[in-house]
Amino acid sequence: MTTLAASAAHPSTAARPSRFFADTWILTGRSMRHITRSLDTIVTVTITPIALMLLFTYVFGGALATGTDTYVTYLLPGILLITIASGIAYTALRLYTDLQSGIFQRFHSMPISRSSILWAHVLTSLVSNGLSLVIVVAVALVMGFRSPAGPLAWLGVAGILTLFTLALTWVAVIAGLAAKSPDGAGAFAYPLIFLPFISSAFVPTETMPGPVRWFAEYQPVTSIVDTIRQLLASGPIGGDIWIALAWCVGILVVAYGFAMIVYRRRMR
């Protein structure tokens, strides 16, 4: 806040394009301090995905005749997407809380980049969700998950998860800006959490009846899950990766555009 106040005292400095990066860095630090003061949020985000992973591995894994070690490896990509969908609900809630507290209006009284306020929340979401994903992978390793993937494959997995997080975070920004209550800010995430259940995340789509199978095969989660699964298995990467990237980039572009429109209208 001190640095932002200094920017307000020197408008010419704040007007430089590089000011956007400086303002975003400062505001991200502020948001990250909120995360470090409530690390229980990250733990809370991981509880549901870990519980689902335990349930499906040790209750349903045997019924699928694959063994628990094999099934947790099959299951993990979908669980990672559920973790992200759970985490972005808190991004929307933090954004809503800032709006209601009047901090946005205070920032807007300063000559700082307005978009940096939103980007700070987005970057904080990337960091907090990244920590949650690490926790979930660690639990999966304890449960028997193993992968022959090399560094480049893991880098590809991290890149896709980051892009997916970024896309959904901008969807969360829209929800946080448009919400009328704290419950409304986070409720939008429930359909996103449910979406992996109608995909290839838990069972092959070939086992599903006609209409459900069609939806599962053509919705975005299936291509993303299959791409991550192929990377972790060090198998050949088919066309799923391009479909997954197209979905992530498409959602990101559309969500970012709508978020900026809602932001401008809200802050008039």
- DSSP string of 176-198? HHH-SSHHHHHHTHHHHHHGGGG
Q: How far apart are CA 172 and CA 174, in angstroms?
A: 5
So what's the pLDDT on residue 5? 44
C-alpha distances in Å from residue 134, one per residue of 43, 79, 93, 238: 11, 12, 22, 26
Residue 237's identity, in one-letter code, is I
So what's the pLDDT on residue 108? 66
CA atoms lying within 13 Å on the CB side of residue 263: 21
Q: What Rg value do the Cα atoms of the chain yield, rounded?
A: 20
Residue 243's identity, in one-letter code, is I
CA atoms lying within 13 Å on the CB side of residue 93: 13
Digit-by-digit pLDDT tens for the chain (268 residues) are: 444 444 443 433 334 557 777 777 887 877 777 776 666 677 788 898 999 999 988 887 666 655 556 889 999 999 999 999 999 988 898 888 878 877 777 776 666 777 788 888 899 889 999 999 999 999 999 998 999 999 999 999 999 999 999 999 999 999 998 888 888 888 888 889 999 999 999 988 998 998 999 999 999 999 999 999 999 998 888 889 999 999 999 999 999 999 999 988 877 7
Q: Which of 245, 237, 190, 256 is nearest to 220 (CA)?
A: 245
Q: Which of 30, 48, 202 is nearest to 112 (CA)?
A: 30
Phi-psi region at 236: left, alpha or beta (left = phi > 0; alpha = psi -120 to 50): beta
So what's the pLDDT on residue 111? 64
End-to-end CA distance of the chain: 23
So what's the pLDDT on residue 137? 96
Q: How far apart are CA 236 and CA 110, in angstroms?
A: 52
So what's the pLDDT on residue 63? 63
So what's the pLDDT on residue 102? 76
3-state SS class at 112: coil
> Is there a contact between 213 and 204 (Cβ–Cβ < 8 Å)?
no
